């Protein structure tokens, strides 16, 4: 069976518009400019049967994302097609949506040991949820030989297989008091992973990587074997937040390869042959958010799409 993939949220943390931002993209989205539609925070949903879905990341916008997606509406008085959640990291924009899914007990959460630690002692999301019902955190080992069989809360196989791979990443800032200097300095400890998702029958997978800074040979090989790649489109240029005066941080300092410039994502993607590619996790500072921009044209001219909220793909 093919996998169906729905982009629930295509924006990076903060969304579009971001609550405290008046940059050109946020101002246009707020004003209802049809060239800059609003976008919610980073998440996708994946299903093999159209009935049971794996959420990849649970954003703070999950309540409205589910409300706007008929495939994810309840089918009975107390029911949700959301069978499980997988996390690429414990960032606030990827994990705090778990708190919104508390009624009836949160779905099972698939994550690495480092992400589980962050949700337990850092954000304390898992202990908070445990007082509303049993929470099942299920371990994902990056680089494991066998894929993880995704199961719903009753233990039934939903027909989706997951493999995780580490990307060079730092722990979220709120974890620094809870880690030794050596633990915090380990860039491959599993703080952030990419996810490779396929149906139980096999077939070329979807690779979902909303945060990645190092674009290396291993990643190139993995993406080239995929049918669909949904990848980090956070910033157009490395210094766009610095140049606009919005922040002191470059894209790379935040763990994201910029789209353009030396060693950027677009040049890397030109060496990846095979899959359809769409950008996700797009920051509100990124000029590609404007549909009639030069930046958008530059992306699309290379055969790379800019994913939007609600976009649906079929893989396999």
Cβ nearer to Zn ion, comparing 26 with 299: 26
- The mark string for 17-36 relative to Zn ion (x by CB under 5 A, - otherwise) is ----x-x--x----------
Backbone torsions φ then ψ of 195, nearest 5 degrees? -120, 135
Sheet with 148-151, side-by-side order of all strands: 148-151, 157-166, 193-199, 202-209, 228-232, 276-280, 304-306
Whole-angstrom distance, CA of residue 73 vs CA of residue 54:
14
259-288: which residues touch Zn ion (CB under 5 A)? 284
Cβ nearer to Zn ion, comparing 11 with 58: 11
User: 10 Å Cβ neighbour count for 248?
Assistant: 8
Cβ nearer to Zn ion, comparing 23 with 197: 23
User: 10 Å Cβ neighbour count for 197?
Assistant: 26
| Residue 158 contacts residue 4 (beta carbons within 8 Å) | no
CB of 90 to Zn ion, least distance (A): 24
CB of 245 to Zn ion, least distance (A): 12
CB of 232 to Zn ion, least distance (A): 18
Count of residues interacting with Zn ion (CB under 5 A): 4
CB of 121 to Zn ion, least distance (A): 32
**Residue 198 binds Zn ion, judged by CB under 5 A:** no
Cβ nearer to Zn ion, comparing 21 with 229: 21
Cβ nearer to Zn ion, comparing 54 with 289: 289
Cβ nearer to Zn ion, comparing 41 with 284: 284
CB of 104 to Zn ion, least distance (A): 35
What is the gyration radius of the CA atoms in the chain, in angstroms?
18
| Residue 54 contacts residue 197 (beta carbons within 8 Å) | yes
Cβ nearer to Zn ion, comparing 59 with 192: 59
The four Cα atoms 73, 77, 78, 83 give a dihedral, to 10 degrees, of -40
Q: 79-91 burial, b for 16+ CB within 10 Å, e for fewer?
A: ebbbbbbbbbbbb
User: 10 Å Cβ neighbour count for 165?
Assistant: 18
CB of 212 to Zn ion, least distance (A): 22
CB of 73 to Zn ion, least distance (A): 31
Give residues in contact with Zn ion (CB under 5 A). 21, 23, 26, 284
């Amino acid at each position: 069976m093919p996998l169906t993939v729905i982009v629930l949220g295509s924006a990076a943390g903060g969304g579009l518009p971001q609550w405290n931002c008046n940059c050109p993209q946020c101002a246009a989205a707020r004003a209802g400019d049809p060239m800059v539609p609003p976008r919610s925070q980073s998440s996708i949903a994946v299903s093999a049967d159209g009935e049971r879905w794996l959420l990849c990341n649970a954003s703070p916008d999950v309540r409205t994302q589910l409300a706007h997606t008929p495939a994810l509406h309840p089918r009975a008085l107390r029911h949700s097609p959301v069978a499980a959640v997988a996390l690429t990291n414990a960032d606030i924009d990827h994990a705090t949506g778990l708190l919104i899914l508390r009624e009836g007990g949160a779905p099972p959460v698939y994550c690495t040991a480092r992400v589980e630690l962050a949700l337990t002692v850092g954000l304390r999301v898992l202990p908070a949820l445990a007082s509303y019902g049993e929470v099942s955190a299920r371990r994902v080992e990056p680089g494991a030989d066998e894929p993880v069989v995704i199961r719903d809360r009753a233990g039934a196989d939903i027909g989706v297989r997951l493999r995780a791979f580490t990307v060079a990443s730092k722990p979220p800032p709120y974890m620094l008091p809870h880690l030794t200097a050596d633990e915090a300095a380990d860039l491959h400890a599993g703080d952030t992973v990419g996810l490779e998702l396929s149906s139980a029958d096999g077939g070329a997978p979807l690779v979902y990587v909303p945060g990645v800074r190092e674009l290396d040979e291993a990643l190139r090989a993995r993406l080239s074997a995929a049918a669909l790649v949904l990848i980090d489109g956070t910033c157009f240029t490395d210094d766009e937040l610095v140049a606009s005066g919005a922040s002191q941080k470059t894209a790379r300092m935040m763990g994201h390869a910029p789209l353009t410039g030396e060693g950027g994502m677009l040049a890397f993607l030109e060496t990846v042959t095979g899959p359809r590619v769409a950008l996700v996790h797009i920051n509100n500072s990124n000029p590609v958010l404007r549909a009639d921009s030069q930046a958008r044209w530059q992306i699309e001219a290379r055969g790379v799409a800019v994913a939007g909220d609600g976009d649906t793909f079929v893989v396999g």
